[in-house]
Chain A
Amino acid sequence: MKLRLLPLAAALLLCAGCAGREAVGEYRELDQLVLVDALGVDRRGEGLVVTAAASSADGPIRLRAGAATVRRALAELQSYTEKQFMFYGHTRHLLLGEADAGACLERCLEFVERSDEVRLDTWLFLVRDGTAEDALTKSAADSVGDLLDALVKDVELTSESRVFTCGETAEALAERGCALVSAVRLTEAENIVPENKRLTLLSAGYGVVADGRLAAWLDPDMARGANLLMGSPGGDVIEAPDGRGGVFAARLTGSDARFLPEYRDGEPVSLRILLELRCSLAEISGPPDLMEGETLREMEAAIAAVEAARVDRVLRLSQTLKADFCGLGDGVRRASPLRFARTSVTWKEVFPALPITAEVRVKLERGGEGGVEGLPGEERAAG
């Protein structure tokens, strides 16, 4: 046996964590752990209240502790569990209560960035009209984590919002000074028969965090407009008047946002945003004469009018708040990097007063199983 293998073996043992607690810290068995799914943070007085939600074979676990910092509150939570260790390494969701949400968010992101357990890709939510504690403890779901997982997927389908991670939010705040955070609301589910009515978490659009405070809420309708501007429309279903006294529904199948800034003397003087939407007819009352180009164009114009109104509301709010929460500046920069780099004023300075117009063009491409493929769909402008 070569003697030189002895130090090698010793080093490998050390590195594998066999040197005991003193050397590498606490070693933990899986059955000693409470695996936390979701964390909620609320401002209460001068301090914070942190709520942890976990699911186990014995049923849901909900724990709460207060402290001046998130990290200290988590250490407090440790005392309340029967198991040996609270484990935050698989935390998937972080919820913040409405009260003083801006300051709370700043502190939570700081905690997540430094944490060796909670990850930057943890989904982030704001609780509208309520507290994170209520959202995690009063929801009837056995596993809040699973409920929120489903919600992340739901909002992608309905385009009522888009859930951002802690990392994405921290990056947006650092880069633009503002960010959109997906909002949820604890509400009694309306679509369940009365005797089984129960509280659940539903999407409530976006919260706008700007300059360290919760500046505004975007309802789901405006959230759809914001999603279009951010280039992630989801699979929204748009209802619009069909021109015959009825309503038709079209499913959004794709969109492109083009930013067309105008520069004068090297400075941006206006911005035109061209949104090109692709839709598929989902439902209509009575057989439409879709082979007639005029009918098709009217329907496209009706969809464009709906979307243009949404986008316009978002743009006005964004400029009023002086917060480019949809990242329009990034679109302008990408449109002409050289000109953008040569401007003497920053985007943050120029954005609030810049004349911005949004033009929505719709192409109703298909009719689903209704069989109107191959229609001469033309791009028509509206709005």
Chain B
Amino acid sequence: MREADGMTYRQYLAAVGVALFSPVSRLLPDAVLRRAGFSGWLAPLAAAPLLLGLTAVHRRLLRLRGEARSLGEALEARLGPVPGKAASALLCLWILFYGGIILRSGGERILATVYPTGRLWVFAGGILVLGAVFALGELRWAGRSAMMTFLFFAAALLAVFAMALPGIHGSAVWPPDPGRSGDILLAAVPVADVLSPWFCFSFLRGRITEEGNGLPRALRGMLGMLLLVLLFLIATIGALGPELALRQQYPFYVMIKNLRIFGGKERFDALTVAIWMTTDYVCVGILLLSASEGLRSLVSARRRQPFVPVCAGGMLLAAVVSARSAFSFARLSETAVPAVNLSVAFLLLPLISCLPGKNLKK
């Protein structure tokens, strides 16, 4: 019998939406501009079939005997108990490492933009503690918290896009360069990368208390994320221009820093920091929730909470050992991390989803 504690599907989607904006604002638009120049803003459209297909495959993987299961259960059912547990353990380790990347990038970007003389571990530690508080409580609390955070996040982003609109140079994005249609397809890869860590949250899937409309709802969630990425790219590339955006470490921050309302009010930098901190802490929180739930089911423990401090320690360790400097960290997060995320999301999990789920315990 399922435990009563859980979050609704709507809350789950809200949490995932906020959390995924963390890698979006870190890796884009740089990655699409490198591949397709100013026409890179079309990359979300090119990535749409890929990501919608992934959503459907992912759902098929987690759906066993007409019921949604956690990723751990699905892996055990399809691979067998021992290989399934081993795969779960590896994925949990990856989630912790990925959480470490999010922690470190959260600290790094605040240092690079607002507090250049501050200490990295103060900010990374702050995000980790907030995430741990998020993960230590009941899931239904985390769900409500995610919903409220999502509303704040959506309002803040809407305000940013509205303020950025007058400063967008149409010629910087329109018309797209027809000679680079192949490059636009290539630029879909980084978009798929930033949205592919969706699978990292899937250990929670068995604790979603309300199913809703299932697949259409998941597809709508993914479409919403793609639309968000599209607006994000148009705003940053259109406001700064492709060359300048490419040269900035955090174009989103620079765009907001340069916003003026009615030619007077300026310096909305704090808004960016608020958006960043929110997305980082929700991302770390939900990764902690997912990893601790994965570990719990791995050892068949009753409670998830005791695993949260262990996972938090693992994330901190990953953040410390992942790179020596901001430069090597940037290289890591632009090469190895996307490679693993894409391989797991687009190769490993779809292959496993083709296997029959015969080992499921009743």
Which A residues fall within an 8 A CB radius of B? 4-5, 7-8, 10-12, 14-15, 19, 22-26, 89-90, 113, 116, 119-121, 165, 167-168, 170-171, 174-175, 330, 333-334, 337-338, 341-342
- C-beta contact mask, B70-114 vs A, less than 8 Å → 1, else 0? 000000000000000000000000000000000000000000111
CB contacts (< 8 Å) of B240 on chain A: these are: 120, 167, 171
Shortest C-beta distance, B204 to chain A (Å), equals 20
Whether B180 contacts A341 by the Cβ 8 Å rule is yes
- Docked complex Cα distance between A127 and B267 (Å): 28
- Docked complex Cα distance between A333 and B178 (Å): 11
Q: Which of A11, A15, A22 contacts B133 (CB 8 A)?
A: A11
Whether B113 contacts A116 by the Cβ 8 Å rule is yes
Whether A8 contacts B243 by the Cβ 8 Å rule is no
Whether A337 contacts B177 by the Cβ 8 Å rule is yes
Shortest C-beta distance, B280 to chain A (Å), equals 11
CB contacts (< 8 Å) of B122 on chain A: these are: 14, 19, 23-24
CB contacts (< 8 Å) of B175 on chain A: these are: 334, 337
How many A-B contacts at CB < 8 Å in the complex?
98
Given A4-B133, A14-B126, A175-B243, the answer on whether A342 and B179 have CB atoms closer than 8 Å is yes
Instruction: Give me 12 A-to-B residue pairs in the complex whose CB atoms sit less than 8 angstroms apart, sorted by A's number.
Output: A11-B125, A14-B123, A14-B126, A19-B122, A24-B118, A119-B257, A121-B260, A170-B244, A171-B241, A175-B241, A175-B242, A334-B171
- Docked complex Cα distance between A120 and B239 (Å): 11
Whether B260 contacts A174 by the Cβ 8 Å rule is no
Within 8 A of A (CB), among B148-206: 171, 174-180
CB contacts (< 8 Å) of B260 on chain A: these are: 121
Whether A23 contacts B129 by the Cβ 8 Å rule is no
CB contacts (< 8 Å) of A337 on chain B: these are: 175-178
Other A-B pairs, 7, CB within 8 Å; known A120-B244, A330-B171: A23-B118, A24-B122, A25-B118, A120-B257, A121-B258, A165-B258, A171-B242
CB contacts (< 8 Å) of B132 on chain A: these are: 7
Interface size class, chain B? 35 or more
Decide if B358 is an interface residue (CB 8 Å cutoff): no
Whether B130 contacts A167 by the Cβ 8 Å rule is no
- Docked complex Cα distance between A338 and B180 (Å): 10
- C-beta contact mask, B209-242 vs A, less than 8 Å → 1, else 0? 0000000000000000000000000000000111
Name the residue on B nearest A20 (C-beta): B122
- Docked complex Cα distance between A167 and B247 (Å): 11
- Docked complex Cα distance between A11 and B106 (Å): 14
CB contacts (< 8 Å) of A14 on chain B: these are: 122-123, 125-126, 129
Q: SS class of chain A's interface: helix, strand, loop or mixed?
A: helix
- Docked complex Cα distance between A11 and B277 (Å): 12
CB contacts (< 8 Å) of B300 on chain A: these are: none
- Docked complex Cα distance between A11 and B134 (Å): 12
Whether A341 contacts B241 by the Cβ 8 Å rule is no
CB contacts (< 8 Å) of A334 on chain B: these are: 171, 174-175
Q: Which of B115, B180, B241 contacts A24 (CB 8 A)?
A: B115
- Docked complex Cα distance between A22 and B117 (Å): 8
Shortest C-beta distance, B316 to chain A (Å), equals 14
Shortest C-beta distance, A227 to chain B (Å), equals 16
CB contacts (< 8 Å) of B113 on chain A: these are: 116
CB contacts (< 8 Å) of B277 on chain A: these are: 15
Closest 8 CB pairs of A and B: A341-B179, A174-B243, A171-B241, A25-B117, A11-B129, A121-B258, A23-B122, A14-B126
Decide if B34 is an interface residue (CB 8 Å cutoff): no
Given A119-B258, A337-B178, the answer on whether A8 and B129 have CB atoms closer than 8 Å is yes
CB contacts (< 8 Å) of B313 on chain A: these are: none
- Docked complex Cα distance between A23 and B107 (Å): 12
Name the residue on B nearest A7 (C-beta): B129
Whether A167 contacts B129 by the Cβ 8 Å rule is no
CB contacts (< 8 Å) of A89 on chain B: these are: 267
Q: Which of B116, B126, B179 contacts A15 (CB 8 A)?
A: B126
CB contacts (< 8 Å) of A333 on chain B: these are: 177
Whether B243 contacts A25 by the Cβ 8 Å rule is no
CB contacts (< 8 Å) of B123 on chain A: these are: 14-15
CB contacts (< 8 Å) of A165 on chain B: these are: 258
Decide if B136 is an interface residue (CB 8 Å cutoff): yes
Whether A25 contacts B116 by the Cβ 8 Å rule is yes
CB contacts (< 8 Å) of B257 on chain A: these are: 119-120
Given A7-B133, A337-B175, A341-B179, the answer on whether A22 and B241 have CB atoms closer than 8 Å is no
Decide if B119 is an interface residue (CB 8 Å cutoff): yes
Whether B119 contacts A22 by the Cβ 8 Å rule is yes
Shortest C-beta distance, A52 to chain B (Å), equals 19
Shortest C-beta distance, A1 to chain B (Å), equals 14
Name the residue on B nearest A110 (C-beta): B247
